Amino acid sequence: MIRRPPRSTPSNSSAASDVYKRQELIEGVIKRLNLDMKYSDFEKMVRLEVPRTYVKEFGVDPIKFWRKIDEAIMFFRRDLAKKGLIKAYADTEVLKLIDMPLAAISNASTEATEFVLKLTRLKKYFKVIQGKDYRNIDGCKPSPYLILKVSRMLGVRPEEVMVVGDSMLDILAARRANAIAVHIKRSNKEIPEANITIESLYELLKILEDC
């Protein structure tokens, strides 16, 4: 089974300022690289509405760009950690009861992904931890690339994989990889493209028993 690492869970009072700070850090990278683009263009790259190699049009090496972005995001996550704002959801305790190889996939760097998993004491449950692959920048979710790569690392066929995620990017990547797409609802947003929708990771145990 593959799942995404936990997101940071700031209180409502700090959420807006933290989101703004993240945007500010990313805009700082864009400015330092003299890129004639807006934050909205960056968001389009994240969603793969335009290629993640889009910055080549401005004469910037995509790998350099994304490494700088990941450095900024790592700084942001360390700052959240200092504030005590990165916490695992309570239902992640289910991971210790799942008797099958688990993998964590993220569009962030492997370093940033491992940082969060170690901080939340979840790293020990994952056989494979895979962040973005700088050799294939456009392989981030919603591309199926990372799921297919991790499936090979686990020695399983994609159709045997269950991907648990809370975003449209997770679900689209799973469907494109021909894996089982499980949407865990961490908000009121519905994702009809999912094969299965659950409200909590606790529901996974029953699903896995029936598989």
3-class secondary structure per residue, 54-116: HHHHHCCCHHHHHHHHHHHHHHHHHHHHHCCCCCCCHHHHHHHHCCCCCEEECCCCHHHHHHH
The Cα 165–Cα 185 span in angstroms is 9
Instruction: Quote the CA–CA distance of 91 and 112 in Å, as a whole number.
Output: 22
CB 120 within 8 A of CB 6: yes
Sequential pLDDT tens for the chain (211 residues): 555 665 544 444 456 678 889 999 999 999 999 999 999 999 999 999 999 999 999 999 999 999 999 999 999 999 999 999 999 999 999 999 999 999 999 999 999 999 999 999 999 999 999 999 999 999 999 999 999 999 999 999 999 999 999 999 999 999 999 999 999 999 899 999 999 999 999 999 889 888 7
pTM: 0.90
Task: Give the up-direction half-sphere exposure of residue 113: CA atoms within 13 A in the CB hemisphere.
Answer: 18
